[in-house]
């Protein structure tokens, strides 16, 4: 059985304790590899290695740093089939999705920041004839990057690329549920000639290895994507240490469909925003609000197309919905479906675990599920489920749907469907979300600020904001 290894000081090594955790294929329920069960000792070693590497990496000409990161991007592209297969086996997502979205985005992340860093510029402020102020931006030091299991290599690279491009060295921890592509990535870093210690990848549990990253006094910036509960815990540890924090947390995103929308586009994209990646994307539109006059028409069509989705073996080309990431997560999703029924909801399609035939008979599959008849205040409509479960609720007016949309503790993204430009602009301005998509969903431009309001997090990723996050700003005032 394959044993995943940590990547510390440029080498692949086992954890200091020599202990391993089991890695399960969620489509079959079988253990298929082992993960180092790393602890604070491994994090200490990784951090020492990152500290040693910092002087050379941060002072290397940015063009040279960029060339190394571009080589890594090229190697991701070269290995796309292998990485997509590994991602699908580790996470349960359809291999077609991993190949079309996850892996191309991982190389795009590397390329975007490798080239972006070359164009960083700083400001000068001329204070009359008396002084010149200029601002320098320098890498903050060792950064800690902690990524989740839903978009494993996609979000892992989304954090480490800006950190490395900015000149930081990194201690990173991928999710213990999906460690495989980060492990394969460490081999690509060695092949690309990334200097030793610049990136260190330590595998293991969040409560042990992850927590040790947050607590380590020589790690000055933490970039985290994951659940809001974990984000709060991280903030509680890191804030008194005055660490810089970027937290990209959960969502309970509204998908608002006005009667004047392009109906076909709204339904087609709503299927994607509800059930892509088994609904395990923090941007999924899990609360669908439909204007009363088209509520029945929308619901009928949406149900029809949901029932047509092929749930199956993630390795088959025909599969549109794969397995949920773990048995525990599947049980959480099923529990929310029961809760919805207790709260008076009608499950109008889906609602059950699926046992497929053949090799996937013990996999963690849940039918795409649509629930109606719930109030906005109930727990089903307030808490993040993070699975293939959506609710549909009718609304009467713009004011009403804005209050429905803003009624949760989250504020990550919102989608709205209307052909009326003025309405699109007016409603967007009133939505308390970090991201608003009008007549589209998850249409990404990596230059744009990405992140949430309220309990969806703090800080923004993407574009210059992510590069700046990993830098320290200094103003130098010269009296003339
Ligand atoms: N992108 C997102 O918005 C995500 C949201 N979630 C939400 O969170 C819920 C719980 O999922 P989990 O797997 O438990 O996610 P999590 O938020 O606990 O895990 C994300 C990452 O944080 C690490 N981690 C956990 N505890 C830590 C700690 N104390 N210090 C440092 N790192 C720590 C994990 O090892 C993993 O690498 C999901 O059901 C979903 O609702 C989960 C994953 C991604
Ligand atoms: O950067 C993106 O395009 C998407 C990010 C998605 C997440 O952060 C998530 O699902 O956690």
**Per-residue pLDDT tens for 75-112?**
999 999 999 999 999 999 999 999 999 999 999 999 99
Would you say the CB of residue 248 lies under 6 angstroms from ligand 2?
A: yes
pLDDT, position 361: 97
What would the pLDDT profile of 198-215 be if each residue is shown by its tens digit?
999 999 999 999 999 999
What is the bridge-based pairing of β-strands 353-354 and 346-349?
Answer: unpaired
112 lines ligand 2 (CB under 6 A): no
Q: Name which residue sits closest to atom 9 of ligand 2, judged by CA.
A: 282
From the list 333, 401, 399, the residue with the least C-alpha distance to 371 is 333
Instruction: Yes or no: say if 9 and 17 are a contact pair by the CB < 8 Å rule.
Output: no
- How many angstroms separate the alpha carbon of residue 52 from the centre of ligand 2? 32
Mean pLDDT value of segment 235-249: 98
State the distance from the centre of ligand 2 to the C-alpha of 102, rounded, in angstroms: 10
* Catalytic residue of the set 87, 248, 280, 367: 248
**Ligand approaching nearest to the C-alpha of 109:** 2
For ligand 1, which residues put their CB under 6 angstroms from it?
A: 146-150, 173, 175-176, 206-207, 210-211, 214, 225-227, 230, 233-234, 249-250, 282, 329, 332, 384, 386
Strand ranges inside 318-465, DSSP E = 346-349, 353-354, 365-366, 369-372, 389-395, 410-411, 413-417, 435-438, 453-454, 457-458
Percent of the chain's residues with pLDDT above 90:
100
Each residue's pLDDT tens digit, 378-387: 999 999 999 9
Where does the pLDDT of residue 114 fall: very low under 50, low under 70, confident under 90, or very high at 90 and above?
Answer: very high
Cα(216) to ligand 2 centroid in Å equals 26
What pLDDT is stored for residue 158 in this prediction? 98
Residue 23 pLDDT grade (very low, low, confident, very high; cuts 50, 70, 90) = very high
Average pLDDT over residues 257-275: 98
Residue 1 tokens, joined: 């059985």
pLDDT of residue 100: 98
Pocket lining: 150 vs ligand 2, CB cutoff 6 Å: yes
For the CA of 154, the nearest ligand: 2
Of the chain, the percentage scoring pLDDT greater than 70 comes to: 100
Q: Which domains does the chain have, with CATH numbers?
A: 2-249+456-479 (3.40.605.10), 254-445 (3.40.309.10)
Q: Is residue 248 annotated as part of the catalytic site, yes or no? A: yes
Is ligand 2 within 6 A of the CB of residue 447? no
Could you tell which of 160, 181, 206 is best to mutate to test the pocket of ligand 1, judged by most ligand atoms within 8 Å of the CB? Answer: 206
Q: HSE-up of 28 (CA within 13 Å, CB side)?
A: 12
Q: What is the pLDDT of residue 284?
A: 98
Residue 324 burial (CB count, 10 A):
29
240 C-beta neighbours (distance < 10 Å), count: 8
Atom 10 of ligand 1, residue of closest alpha carbon: 227
ipTM of the complex: 0.96
Pocket test of ligand 2: the residue of 104, 146, 223, 225 to mutate, having most ligand atoms within 8 Å of its CB, is 225
Q: Whose CA is nearest to atom 25 of ligand 1?
A: 206
Query: Residue 334 and residue 267: Cα distance in Å, rounded?
Result: 25
Mean pLDDT of 13-33: 98
Its pTM stands at 0.98
pLDDT of residue 138: 97
pLDDT digits (tens, 9 = 90+) for 125-140: 999 999 999 999 999 9
The pLDDT value recorded for residue 459 is 97
C-alpha to C-alpha distance for 260 and 257, rounded to whole angstroms? 8
Q: Which ligand is nearest to the Cα of residue 273, counting in written order? A: 2
Query: What tokens were used for 44?
Result: 């200490």
Measured CA to CA in angstroms, residue 142 lies from 44, 76, 81 at distances of 12, 24, 32
pLDDT-derived band of residue 66, with 50, 70 and 90 as boundaries?
very high
Mean pLDDT of 28-53: 98
pLDDT digits (tens, 9 = 90+) for 354-411: 999 999 999 999 999 999 999 999 999 999 999 999 999 999 999 999 999 999 999 9
Instruction: Tell me, using a 6 A CB cutoff, whether residue 163 lines ligand 2.
Output: no
Q: Calculate how far, in angstroms, residue 155's C-alpha sits from the geometric centre of ligand 2.
A: 7
Output the CA 280–ligand 1 centroid distance in Å: 12
């Amino acid at each position: 059985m394959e044993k995943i290894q940590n990547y510390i000081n440029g080498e692949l090594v086992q954890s200091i304790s020599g202990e391993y955790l089991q890695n399960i294929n969620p489509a079959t329920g079988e253990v298929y590899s082992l993960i180092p069960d790393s602890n604070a000792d491994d994090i200490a070693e990784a951090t020492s290695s990152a500290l040693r590497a910092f002087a050379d990496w941060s002072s290397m000409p940015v063009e040279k740093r960029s060339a190394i990161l571009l080589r890594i991007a090229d190697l991701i592209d070269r290995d796309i089939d292998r990485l997509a297969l590994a991602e699908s086996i580790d996470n349960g997502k359809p291999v077609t999705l991993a190949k079309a979205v996850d892996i191309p985005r991982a190389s795009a992340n590397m390329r975007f920041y490798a080239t972006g860093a070359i164009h960083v510029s700083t400001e000068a402020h001329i204070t009359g004839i008396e002084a010149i102020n200029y601002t320098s931006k320098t890498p903050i030091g060792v950064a800690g990057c902690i990524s989740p299991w839903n978009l494993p290599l996609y979000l892992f690279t989304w954090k480490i690329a800006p950190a490395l491009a900015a000149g930081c060295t990194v201690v990173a921890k991928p999710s213990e549920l999906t460690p495989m592509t980060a492990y394969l990535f460490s081999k690509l870093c060695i092949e690309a000639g990334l200097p030793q210690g610049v990136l260190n990848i330590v595998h293991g549990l969040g409560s042990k290895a992850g927590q040790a990253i947050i607590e380590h006094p020589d790690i000055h910036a933490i970039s985290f994507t994951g659940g809001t509960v974990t984000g709060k815990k991280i903030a509680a540890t890191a804030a008194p240490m005055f660490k810089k924090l970027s937290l990209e947390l959960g969502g309970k995103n509204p998908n608002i469909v006005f009667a004047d929308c392009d109906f076909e586009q709204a339904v087609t994209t709503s299927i994607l925003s509800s059930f892509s990646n088994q609904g395990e994307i923090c941007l999924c539109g899990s609360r669908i609000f439909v204007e009363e006059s088209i509520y029945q028409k929308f619901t009928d069509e949406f149900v029809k197309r949901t029932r047509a989705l092929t749930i199956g073996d993630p390795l088959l080309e025909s599969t549109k919905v794969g397995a949920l990431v773990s048995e525990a997560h599947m049980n959480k999703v099923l529990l929310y479906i029961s809760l919805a029924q207790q709260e008076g909801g009608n499950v109008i399609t889906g609602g059950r675990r699926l046992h497929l035939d053949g090799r996937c008979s013990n996999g963690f599959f849940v039918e795409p599920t649509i629930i109606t008849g719930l109030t906005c205040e109930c727990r089903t409509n307030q808490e993040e489920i993070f699975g293939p479960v959506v609710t549909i609720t009718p609304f009467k007016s713009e004011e009403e749907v804005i209050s429905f949309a803003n009624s949760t503790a989250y504020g990550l993204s919102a989608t709205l469907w209307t052909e009326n430009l003025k309405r699109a602009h007016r409603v967007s301005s009133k939505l308390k979300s970090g991201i608003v998509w009008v007549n589209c969903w998850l249409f990404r431009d990596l230059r744009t600020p990405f992140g949430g309001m309220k309990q969806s997090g703090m800080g923004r990723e993407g574009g210059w904001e992510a590069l700046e996050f990993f830098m320290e700003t200094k103003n130098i005032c010269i009296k003339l």
